[in-house]
Structure 1
Amino acid sequence: MITPATLDRTVRAALEEDAPWGDLTSAALLPADARATADLVAREPGVLSGGDVFAAAFTLTDATVEVDLHVADGDRFGAGDVLASVQGPARSILTAERVALNFTQRMSGIATLTTTYVDAVDGTGVRIADTRKTTPGLREFERHAVVSGGGSNHRRSLSDAVMAKDNHLAVLRQGGHDLAGALRDALARLPHTTHVVVEVDRLDQIPAVLDGGADTVLLDNFSLDDLRSAVALIAGRATAEASGGVSLDTVRAIAETGVQVISVGALTHSARALDLGLDVRIG
């Protein structure tokens, strides 16, 4: 969830970056009393995310600007649909335009891509989840966009859950530590509410992870046959999560192996900005 404080701080920073000494063009060219009405128009179909962020870019620029959102986050829309309308001082609207669009295009692109993955596994009961492969400083916005698209969020940060990945396991092996024992020792020190995830890339690693008491086994870059074997080996003792090599071409087959979660880094690191435009009404 994007908190009000995060929304305010991040959008203000973006506005300051884009107009550190004001909007020279609008101030020089437009009369101070000029007013305008503009529409946020979709140039292509998609799923909206970032409506509140879009509105904040205008209202933080000028509290007198009025923003009317016609589509809610998570709603699908078609090319040509009017998603929001803005009215107020023309200088203020044009000063905020690019920042408002940058956030909404980026977030709607993530939501739209997420929806394609969620649709691809429809009926399997599998969750499509994001990862920490997010734009620095924009994680909460991108995580919100994933949820707008019907996906689920993974851990928010390094502080939220234990997630032992390949390099953690390599350090343990280098020190001669037993994985199951290391996990049991960690669980004894952690609060009982802490979720523990362990990444494996081979079937023979799974028994130690289960013996150590992990809550989720993250199956990284497994073949379909090995995923099916891993699910059978885990046998409900932990959540089976697949990751690595996931694409729209492969996600359905991965879901059908019996895993409960598929994490997809591409949702945030490879989503393209959706084509949205702000059109000033003439006449």
Structure 2
Amino acid sequence: MITETQFQNELDLIIKNAIREDIGDGDHTSLSCIPAEAEGKAKLLVKDTGVIAGVEFAKQVFSYVDADLEVETFINDGNEVKFGDIVFHVSGKSRSILMAERLVLNAMQRMSAIATKTAFFANLLKGTDTKVLDTRKTTPGIRALEKWAVKIGGGENHRFALYDMVMIKDNHIDFAGGITAAITKTKKYLAEKNLDIKIIVEARSLEEIEEILNNEGVYRILIDNFNYEDTRKAVTLIGNKCLTESSGGINEDTIRKYAECGVDYISSGALTHSVYNLDLSLKAL
């Protein structure tokens, strides 16, 4: 997995690029009608129900735009919110607040939607030992925000990108000449490059699981698009030789049943690619 420093670098890039995209050569509306010395205060108002996420990111945005902006927090990331709740106040130069407003709202609305959906899925797994994972099915350019939101909602992060974990899927297996060939080549490559990263291998059948288990060094087996019966057989077959992960169209109606098959993880692209933004507003006080 990526380091905290790498993750923060991703956040810094998101903020820098988003501000560049939104402000360009200046916020001419604010520059034209609000005096440079004017100061103001605004509140982050919740107009929906869910799990709030992005408060700490908002603080980073405000600080980037104007280090003198002050944020007073009333509700923290991961807490449930309802219509009418006030998450924080921000005070300082009025122009600065307005420059940061859209990025803060866009990010928090998206992050809160993901955190809300993740919390819903995580709640469906209560009483089992299974954890819900995100995927790389994220919005280009803001993956760090979306994966952060999954964590806030009670889920866990899968690999961040292609560089921090090896995931040998069906196409890799077919192009490489089979499961054993793919695993053997991967381990040789990692040794040559002196890379200490985990290996996940996708299985399409119980026979493929048996072949994977004949190879050393696999961290987790991805049990992809199996039915419940075969998933239970796969978990029994794998035992404690490595971790297990179910995936493939698993939704709110089926996630509990797959968890009861005994898998360690269930990955769901829906956490990030199928959500509706939580309604939030930044209103002047």
Contact 2:220–2:243 (8 Å) recurs in 1: yes
Describe the superposition over 1:76-113 as per-residue Cα deviations: whole angstroms up to 9, x where unpaired.
Answer: 22221111111112222112111111111111111111
In structure 1, the partner of 2:250 is: 246
In structure 1, the partner of 2:203 is: 200
Residue 200 of structure 1 aligns with an amino acid whose one-letter code is: A
Q: For 1:3 and 1:238, locate their aligned partners in 2 and report how far apart those are by CA, in whole Å.
A: 27
In structure 2, the partner of 1:13 is: 17
Q: Does 1:42 align with 2:57?
A: no
RMSD of Structure 2 on Structure 1 (CA): 1.9
Residue 211 of structure 2 aligns with an amino acid whose one-letter code is: A
Deviation of 1:165 (Å): 0.3
Q: Does 1:272 align with 2:272?
A: no
Residue 180 of structure 1 aligns with an amino acid whose one-letter code is: T
Contact 2:246–2:266 (8 Å) recurs in 1: yes
In structure 1, the partner of 2:212 is: 209
Contact 2:220–2:245 (8 Å) recurs in 1: yes
Which deviates the most, 141-150 or 229-238?
229-238
> Residues 27 and 193 (structure 1 numbering): CA distance in 2 closer, same or farther, change over 3 Å?
closer
Contact 2:173–2:182 (8 Å) recurs in 1: no
> Residues 166 and 76 (structure 1 numbering): CA distance in 2 closer, same or farther, change over 3 Å?
same
Q: For 2:170 and 2:7, locate their aligned partners in 1 and report how far apart those are by CA, in whole Å.
A: 33
Q: For 2:57 and 2:38, locate their aligned partners in 1 and report how far apart those are by CA, in whole Å.
A: 25
In structure 2, the partner of 1:190 is: 190
Q: Does 1:169 align with 2:169?
A: no
Deviation of 1:215 (Å): 2.2
Deviation of 1:225 (Å): 1.5
In structure 2, the partner of 1:156 is: 160
In structure 2, the partner of 1:132 is: 136
Gaps of 5+ in 2: none
Q: Does 1:144 align with 2:148?
A: yes
Residue 214 of structure 2 aligns with an amino acid whose one-letter code is: D
Q: Does 1:30 align with 2:34?
A: yes
In structure 2, the partner of 1:85 is: 89
Q: For 1:169 and 1:265, locate their aligned partners in 2 and report how far apart those are by CA, in whole Å.
A: 22
Alignment of 1:92-111 (within 5 A): 92-111=96-115
Describe the superposition over 1:204-233 as per-residue Cα deviations: whole angstroms up to 9, x where unpaired.
Answer: 211101111322110111111211121122
Tell me the percent identity: 41
Three-state SS of the structure 2 residue aligned to 1:190 is helix
> Residues 189 and 21 (structure 1 numbering): CA distance in 2 closer, same or farther, change over 3 Å?
closer
Deviation of 1:189 (Å): 5.2
Q: For 1:193 and 1:12, locate their aligned partners in 2 and report how far apart those are by CA, in whole Å.
A: 31
Gaps of 5+ in 1: none
Q: For 2:10 and 2:181, locate their aligned partners in 1 and report how far apart those are by CA, in whole Å.
A: 40
Three-state SS of the structure 1 residue aligned to 2:214 is helix
Q: For 2:12 and 2:222, locate their aligned partners in 1 and report how far apart those are by CA, in whole Å.
A: 36
Deviation of 1:11 (Å): 0.8
